[in-house]
Amino acid sequence: MFPIEEMLAGVGVLAVIAYALLAGADFGAGVWDLLARGPRKDLQRQAIAEAIGPIWEANHVWMIFLIVILFSGFPPAFAALSIALFVPFHLILVGIMLRGASFVFRAHGAAAAGFRAAWGPVFGSASVFTPVLLGMCLGAVSSGSIRVSNGVVLADYWSAWTAPISWLIGALALIQAAYLAAVYLCLETAGELREDFRRRALVSSLVVIVIATVAFPVLIAEAPHLWRSLLQPHVVPVILVGMVLGAASPWALWHRRFRLARLAAAGEVSAIIVGWALAQRPYIIYPDVTVSNSAASRGMILFTLWTLPFAAALLVPSLWFLFSVFKGQNPAAAEPPAGLTGRPMGEATFTVTRTDRGS
Amino acid sequence: MEGLFETQRGAPLTIGGWPDVGAGEIRYGIEIPKGLSLLAKHDINAEVMGLNDVPPRDRPNVYIVRTAFQIMVGFGTALIGIAAWYWASRRWRRLDNRLLLLALVASGFMGFIALEAGWFVTEVGRQPWVIYGVMRTEDAVTPVPGTANVLYGFSLLYVVLAATLVWLLLRLRHRGPEQAHEHHSGSESNVSH
Write the residue in A94, A108, A157 that is nearest to B172 by C-beta: A108
Chain A hits for B189, CB-CB cut-off 8 Å, are 354-355, 358-359
Q: Do residue A86 and residue B144 have CB atoms under 8 angstroms apart?
A: yes
For residue range A263-287, list pLDDT tens digits in order.
Answer: 999 999 999 999 998 888 888 888 8
More confidently predicted of A68 and B14: A68
Chain A hits for B160, CB-CB cut-off 8 Å, are none
- Choose, out of B147, B190, B191, the residue to mutate when testing the contact with A (most A CBs < 10 Å): B190
pLDDT band at B175 (very low <50, low <70, confident <90, very high): low
What residues contact residue A202 under an 8 Å CB cut-off, 6+ apart? A250, A253, A254
Residue A355 pLDDT greater than 60, yes or no: no
**Average pLDDT for residues A249-271, to the nearest whole number?**
91
Write the residue in B142, B165, B192 that is nearest to A82 by C-beta: B142
Q: Do residue B186 and residue A97 have CB atoms under 8 angstroms apart?
A: no
Write the residue in A83, A97, A108 that is nearest to B142 by C-beta: A83
Q: What is the DSSP string of B75-137?
A: HHHHHHHHHHHHHHHHHTT----HHHHHHHHHHHHHHHHHHHHHHHHHHHHTTTEEETTTEEH
pLDDT for the residue numbered A273: 92
CATH number, domain A4-299: 1.20.1630
For residue range A297-317, list pLDDT tens digits in order.
Answer: 888 888 989 998 898 888 888
Q: What is the DSSP string of A250-299?
A: HHHHHTT-HHHHHHHHHHHHHHHHHHHHHHHTTEEETTTEETTTT---HH
- Whether ipTM > 0.90 holds is no
Q: Give the rounded percent of residues in chain B with a pLDDT score beyond 70.
A: 88
pLDDT for the residue numbered A133: 93
Residue B100 pLDDT greater than 70, yes or no: yes
* Helix or strand run (H / E) with residue A215: helix A191-222
CA-based nearest residue to A160, from A83, A67, A76: A83
Chain A hits for B181, CB-CB cut-off 8 Å, are none
More confidently predicted of A215 and B158: B158
For residue range B33-77, list pLDDT tens digits in order.
Answer: 777 877 777 777 777 777 777 777 778 878 888 888 888 988 999
Chain A hits for B168, CB-CB cut-off 8 Å, are 105, 108-109
**Average pLDDT for residues B112-132, to the nearest whole number?**
88
More confidently predicted of B152 and A294: B152
pTM: 0.79
**Average pLDDT for residues A157-171, to the nearest whole number?**
88
pLDDT for the residue numbered A110: 58
